[in-house]
């Protein structure tokens, strides 16, 4: 497992904000559940949540201490200082295939259905588990991320 106690606490806060929404860890943090990643730490946790855009960020910002980045609508900081990137991906968004943020940025959701369909449960502690996308799905998501914004995502290659 590769998450810090503040990151685990942030995941708990997200689960309390949206108790019925499936959430899956994606990105570099997910790799730590499958491989020894002590050589590479990630500064944030990327999470895809089965929510529609109209429900986002809603309940999360109603919780004390959560802060949303002023320009990057998907970036948050938890009350304990953990950075979390949240992507809403409810059924309507998955069908559309993209998110169009209020600021105009369009992000592809290609492959996110695979993250939900193939997520695996991993223990975070004796009493807490999280759903994590497996490596083949993460590889697809990285390819999509690069194709979406190649000049910003060159490191994803």
pLDDT tens for 95-115 read 999 999 988 888 899 999 999
What pLDDT, on the 0 to 100 scale, is given for residue 155? 65
β-bridge mates for residue 86, sequence order:
47
Answer whether 36's CB lies under 8 Å from 63's CB.
no
| Percent of residues, the chain, with pLDDT higher than 70 | 92
φ, ψ at 115 (rounded to 5°): -60, -45
List, for residues 44-62, the tens digit of each pLDDT value: 999 999 999 999 998 999 9
List, for residues 74-87, the tens digit of each pLDDT value: 999 999 999 999 99
Q: Are strands 120-123 and 129-132 parallel, antiparallel or unpaired?
A: antiparallel
Answer whether 24's CB lies under 8 Å from 48's CB.
yes
Domain span at residue 81 reads 5-156
What CATH number has the domain bearing residue 44? 3.30.460
β-bridge mates for residue 46, sequence order:
26, 85
Domain count, the chain: 1
pTM, to two decimals: 0.91
């Amino acid at each position: 497992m590769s998450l810090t106690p503040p990151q685990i606490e942030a995941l708990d806060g997200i689960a309390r904000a949206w108790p019925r929404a499936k959430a899956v860890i994606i990105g570099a943090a997910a790799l730590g559940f499958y491989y020894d990643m002590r050589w590479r730490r990630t500064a944030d946790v990327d999470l895809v949540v089965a929510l529609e855009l109209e429900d986002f960020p809603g309940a999360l910002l109603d919780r004390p201490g959560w802060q949303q980045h002023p320009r990057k609508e998907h970036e948050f900081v938890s009350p304990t200082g953990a950075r979390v990137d949240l992507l809403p991906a409810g059924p309507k968004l998955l069908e559309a295939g993209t998110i169009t943020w209020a600021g105009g940025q369009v992000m592809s959701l290609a492959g996110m259905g695979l993250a939900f369909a193939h997520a695996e449960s991993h223990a975070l502690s004796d009493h807490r588990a999280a759903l994590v996308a497996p490596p083949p799905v993460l590889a697809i998501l990285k390819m999509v991320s690069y194709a979406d914004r190649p000049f910003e995502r060159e490191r994803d290659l």
